[in-house]
Structure 1
Amino acid sequence: MPSVQPVASVIPQPPLAAWVEASVPYLADLSVKPVTYNPPIGTGVARRVGNYRDFKVRIHNVRPIAGDLSLDRQAFVLARHETAVRDFYDRDEVRRVYEPEIEALVKRQTGASKVVVFDHTIRAADRGVERGHRAPVRSVHNDYTENSGPQRVRDLLPADEAEARLQKRFAEYNVWRNISHDPVEMSPLGFVDSESIAPRDLAVCDLVYEDRVGEIYIGVYNADHRWCYFPRMTREEAVLIKCYDSLKDGRARFSLHSAFDDPTSPANPKPRESIETRTLAFFD
């Protein structure tokens, strides 16, 4: 399968810092029920209700220990993953080329027997809404809850198959990647090590769309959270994020993540362009 090679940069890059300090938007408390109103793509930005506040956190560069990370402990991993996609803005090419690539990647990383790729969201930091996409999400969140994880299976599979699949282990993984030929300089994605998340840190938030209401978790601030990121992600890398796991045996079941402003970014950073692909993984 052909691969897309990155454009070589002629500008020397400074060494990566071991950690950076940045602000991320958490819920300060649960005095106000969190609700997010999502308009149709390309028509506006999300409106959030809740007692949100920016909290300063230390976000560690975990590239040096990327090989030690685990989906079942930290709930996120970095994978080398070249793609044959030439234009991620071409929906037909993404469906034909990228979906089989992601299905194979998730199977390889998780051991799942079946993977269903069901959603792609392109986020652009430069006029994302005007261009018919979404902007990077700046809130500490997780895409599924105890209730919405199983509901997504029922939404996507035939009723009989869904009920059979729900009797065994299944998980939801997001696959996030940079789709620009330049490394990420603006609004990188930060992740909370799942081993530092307590159950009380996950607040159910209604996610209101034009045609349906879903649920996500919003992070409630906890000073014990261990934040991590992979600086300067390239087009040949992908992060798998576990957002739900039905198995309750002590492994990571949920995660938290958010975009943030990296203080080590260049003075005029190139706008981030990324795609996140949502998948359901089923295990025998």
Structure 2
Amino acid sequence: MSAVLSPSPSVSTSHAVQAELNYLAPGVTRPVSYTFEPPEGTPWTTGELAPETVAIHDARPLAALGELSLDRSGFAKLAHRSALTDFSDDAAIRSIYYPESVALLRAATGAEKVVVFDHTLRDSANGSRTTKTLREPVRRVHNDQTFVSGPRRVRDHLSPEEAAERLKHRFAIINLGRPLDTVEQLPLAMCDARSIAPEDLVPSDLVYPDKVGEIYSFLHNPAHRWYWFPRLRSDEPLLLKIYDSQEDGTARLTAHSAFEHPDTPSDAPPRRSIELRALVFWPAGEDASA
């Protein structure tokens, strides 16, 4: 990806907050994070953090003007109310929410095929990294795949024959994030893909019980442009570009992180949300509509 993919949208500092984001400190060895309790004496996460205070802009005005989109900035907000109301039922998530999300992603991107490969429930009060079924929001700047691990996901979830064919054409990995209640605590900050430079990306190991995946940590860059959607509602799901095989100036990924909004009341309700991750495939010779 290039340092700047297209001209920067104008932003107004009057619609920004100053907040701290946890970047990776420069010069550290390759970071490692565990998705399960690591062996005794092994830390959950390595890699020193370097908190930076940055301006995080209200995304709503620019989104309304069409300045922010999945293929331009690497993220987008949709208008969609889920038919599912009880997200505590894993079977219902898979039988109702998965097909609903597949249809939503196809409509939003123009994709030919969508394959959901996992989901995560988050709760800022009750979630924990030790609990597989309910996680806490991630408070470090990251992206869930790399340019190496993205194609691996295709091979992991398709037959060898179909994977070989699909990898010849454009595909993407997209996160669909939906609040379960209006977000007041620990909102999500997203970095405009057009402000990310290749040297900002640091490949990092993500250790599962049966394999080692790879994500990107991020070094601070003062050129980064950060956004959030104030009081995001359950009928306002977000799309995050996690990987895109296309290399024509289209946004290929975006950095993101939960952050402490300085004006959050001390008694604000916890953030509850669901993230669904999907492979998105377009037909040969066709581009996306996002």
Q: State the TM-score, normalizing by the size of structure 2.
A: 0.87
Between stretches 62-71 and 127-136, larger displacement belongs to: 127-136
Give the drift of 1:227.
0.4
Q: Secondary structure at the match of 2:94?
A: helix
Give the drift of 1:31.
2.7
How do 1:35-46 and structure 2 match up within 5 A?
A: 35-39=32-36
- Runs (4 or more) in structure 1 with deviation over 2 Å come to 129-132
- Does the 8 Å contact 1:30/1:51 carry over to 2? no
How do 1:178-257 and structure 2 match up within 5 A?
A: 178-180=179-181, 183-257=182-256
Using the alignment, how far apart are the partners of 1:217 and 1:253 within structure 2? 13
- Does the 8 Å contact 1:113/1:283 carry over to 2? yes
The residue number in structure 2 matching 1:59 is 56
Q: Quick one: percent identity of the two aligned structures? A: 47
Using the alignment, how far apart are the partners of 2:92 and 2:236 within structure 1? 19
The residue number in structure 2 matching 1:25 is 22
Using the alignment, how far apart are the partners of 1:30 and 1:145 within structure 2? 19
Q: State the TM-score, normalizing by the size of structure 1.
A: 0.89
Q: Secondary structure at the match of 2:78?
A: strand
Using the alignment, how far apart are the partners of 2:152 and 2:231 within structure 1? 35
Using the alignment, how far apart are the partners of 1:268 and 1:139 within structure 2? 23
Number of aligned pairs? 261
Amino acid across the alignment from 1:33: R
How do 1:1-284 and structure 2 match up within 5 A?
A: 18-39=15-36, 47-67=44-64, 68=66, 69-129=68-128, 132-180=133-181, 183-284=182-283
Give the drift of 1:30.
2.9
Give the drift of 1:33.
1.7
Using the alignment, how far apart are the partners of 1:32 and 1:52 within structure 2? 12
Using the alignment, how far apart are the partners of 1:66 and 1:98 within structure 2? 25
Using the alignment, how far apart are the partners of 1:145 and 1:173 within structure 2? 13
In structure 2, stretches of 5+ residues that fail to align are 1-13, 38-42, 284-290
